[in-house]
Chains A and B, each alone.
Chain A
Amino acid sequence: MREAVAARVSIDSSLCQGHGRCYSVVPELFGFDGEGYGVVLESAISADRVGLAHAAAIECPERAVVVDEAQSDDTNA
């Protein structure tokens, strides 16, 4: 059964400079590409993971991690 989508997580690639804070702090949701820039492993997250997404967002010096809770359940993951 698919869990309800509570938020969408993204990384603004125009802001990300590869500090690596998101994937160090929350490896559950973030990884890195060949050059060390952050990538989102799971973009449509359930309510129990929203806290994790915010935990990464508040560590990003570039403010590149975006957690959008307004866009939730009505579109497909």
Chain B
Amino acid sequence: MSSEVENLGTAAAEFNYWDPRWGQDPYPMLEHLRKSGGVGWSTALGGYWAVSSYSGVLRVLTDPDTFSSRMLVLPPLDPPQRLIPETLDQPEHQPYRRVFSSLFTPRKIRELEDEVRTLTRELIGKATAKPAFEFVSEFAVPLPCTVFLKILGLPMSELDRLLDVKEAQARGAASDDPVLRDRALNVVLPAAAAYFNEVLDERAADPNPPDDVLTAMVTQPAVGGVPMPREDMISALFQLVSAGLDTVTAVLGLSFELLASRPDLQRQLADDPGLIPSAVEELLRYWGIVTISRQANVDTQIDGVPIKAGEYVAILTPSANRDEIEFGNPTEIDFRRTGNRHVAFGAGPHRCLGSHLARMELQIALEEWHAAVPEYRLASDTPAERHFGAIMGLEELQLAVGAR
């Protein structure tokens, strides 16, 4: 036991959240980081402060003047990738964000509910017509991606290409493997930029443009009363693809793996669908899948630990959401939890723009699965392969209908 702690101590000094070593079960390490003070220096990824406490994470997120968003992912890229609006600091950020936020308001999202419910039922019907099915490719990818591409204004026929773009950005561009990195930086991403430019041209020429993100970008003023420059529109599409095509998929995959092994939790949701909104919050808290970074603009401190201007910090949401100082019994799933101030969607001015959409999709998914499928289980004894990194998730998940 003590040698395990010692090993974690040595590993913490060079903790790299991309390392496959932490993919399957990062939680003992995250707990170690919290118990060692919640803010610790790691020599990995060019050197950064790993912020694992809830208080530290909240502090960094809600103090954007001190902590710049210009470098969202570590190791730092030179030059940094400009992602609109996520890497912008104030005052530049607000007018850009406004162009997109009007399409993700609670009212707009409510208008999509019926459509999302119909699609959810279709996908469940198709998957569960077979005795066993692969949940990620048959449900967790198509549900959010269909809805998201519609909001963006891109056709579903481009989904495979866009998933490839997302992958190239998330893992390829910063990969240690030169072949993967070269393909991402010199093939996939430039081709995607050309494609985005083309669809923006088409949309700008459309006399009756639909109400979607592409139209908002080419028509709505961002700064100085005119639409944003074309390169910023393309950057925004990269950002939206990376934020929208991976996140709900990841939460669905991780949550259904957990539920499939916990018939008691399935029963709670089936017996009392009124519990589902707070169950969604609890699952969001439990997984808190996102780890992004900030850079200190000035000398400062986090939880009393001095941070120098220019240093990077990583915001370990998966750890903050299980901080025992903020949450009672954080490793337990409690669908009736109150005081659940999780930061799965971040906090501060960069709070996830798509949070109302994500919640609606997760809620409908839980409602429809537990209304349609009395019980489901893991179809394989081998645990699903998981990854850590900027967005945690699992590669695939074999499920079967019925009790074990």
Contact status of A17 and B348, CB under 8 A, knowing A34-B107, A61-B58: yes
Partner of A59, one of B339, B348, B359: B339
Instruction: Encode A10-36 as 1/0 by CB contact (under 8 A) with B.
Output: 000000011111011000000010111
Cβ-based interface call for A77 (8 A): no
Instruction: Encode B91-113 as 1/0 by CB contact (under 8 A) with A.
Output: 00000000001101111000000
Contact B105 A35 (CB under 8 A): yes
How many Å from the CB of A16 to the closest CB on chain B?
A: 10
Contact status of A58 and B342, CB under 8 A, knowing A17-B348, A17-B349, A32-B106: no
Cβ-based interface call for A62 (8 A): yes
Contact A61 B101 (CB under 8 A): no
Partner of B355, one of A20, A32, A59, A62: A20
Contact A24 B277 (CB under 8 A): yes
Q: Which parts of A21-69 form the interface with B (CB within 8 Å)? A: 21, 23-24, 32, 34-36, 55, 58-62
How many Å from the CB of A32 to the closest CB on chain B?
A: 5
Roughly how many angstroms separate A47 CA and B60 CA in the complex, as a whole number?
37
Contact A17 B339 (CB under 8 A): no
Contact A36 B101 (CB under 8 A): yes
User: Which residues on the A side are within 8 Å of B355 (C-beta)?
Assistant: 19-20
Contact B101 A59 (CB under 8 A): no
Dominant SS among interface residues on chain A: loop
Dominant SS among interface residues on chain B: loop
Contact B345 A19 (CB under 8 A): yes
Contact B342 A61 (CB under 8 A): yes
Cβ-based interface call for B183 (8 A): no
How many Å from the CB of B161 to the closest CB on chain A?
A: 31
How many Å from the CB of B110 to the closest CB on chain A?
A: 11
Which of B105, B277, B281 gathers most chain A CB within 10 Å? B105
Cβ-based interface call for B338 (8 A): yes
Roughly how many angstroms separate A60 CA and B338 CA in the complex, as a whole number?
11
Contact status of A62 and B62, CB under 8 A, knowing A17-B347, A17-B351, A24-B277: yes
Q: Closest residue to B342 on the A side, CB-wise?
A: A61
Contact status of A61 and B339, CB under 8 A, knowing A17-B348, A34-B107, A36-B356: no
User: Which residues on the A side are within 8 Å of B339 (C-beta)?
Assistant: 58-59
- Please list the 7 inter-chain residue pairs (A to B) with the smallest Cβ-Cβ separation, ordered nearest first: A58-B339, A17-B351, A36-B105, A61-B341, A61-B347, A36-B106, A32-B106
Known interface pairs A23-B106, A32-B105; 5 further A-B residue pairs with C-beta atoms within 8 A, sorted by A's residue number? A17-B348, A18-B351, A20-B106, A20-B355, A34-B105
Q: Which residues of A contact B (CB under 8 A)?
A: 17-21, 23-24, 32, 34-36, 55, 58-62
